[in-house]
């Protein structure tokens, strides 16, 4: 049985507790069977898909915003207002 790990993180100046799920042994074995290049490609796809979903959600929430405004909101949500 795999357990979750709790960590404390600082997010934009606010301390938060986060739970990180440990990967199932089968998932670990699958990932370990990939080359470094394959793992990087998987991570790149995940990041691209996440950014696309975030963009689409913000654009849906604010249909009157320009592309630039949507992108600025993405930056604000990811990095905070003090960037």
Q: Do 53 and 68 reside in the same domain of the chain?
A: yes
Count of domains observed in the chain: 2
pTM of the model: 0.66
DSSP assignment of 55-74, as one string? HHHHHHH-TTS-HHHHHHHH
Asked whether residue 39 falls in the same domain as residue 29, the answer is: no
Residue 82 belongs to a domain: no
Express each pLDDT in 33-54 by its tens digit.
999 999 999 999 999 999 999 9
**83 falls within a domain:** no
Report residue 1's pLDDT band, with 50, 70 and 90 as the boundaries.
Answer: low
Q: Is residue 53 part of a domain?
A: yes
Considering the domain boundaries, does residue 46 fall inside one?
A: yes
Whether 67 and 42 map to the same domain: the answer is yes
Do 45 and 71 belong to one domain? yes
Mean pLDDT of the chain: 89
Q: Which domain holds residue 42?
A: 35-77
Residues 6+ positions from 6 with CB-CB distance below 8 Å: 17, 18, 19, 20
């Amino acid at each position: 049985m795999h357990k979750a790990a709790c960590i404390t993180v600082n997010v934009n100046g606010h301390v938060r507790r986060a739970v990180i799920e440990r990967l199932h042994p089968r998932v670990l074995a699958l990932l370990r069977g990939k080359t470094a290049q394959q793992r990087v490609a998987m991570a790149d796809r995940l990041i691209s898909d996440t950014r696309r979903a975030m963009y689409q959600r913000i654009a849906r929430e604010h249909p009157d915003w320009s592309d630039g405004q949507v992108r600025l909101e993405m930056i604000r949500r990811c990095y905070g207002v003090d960037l």
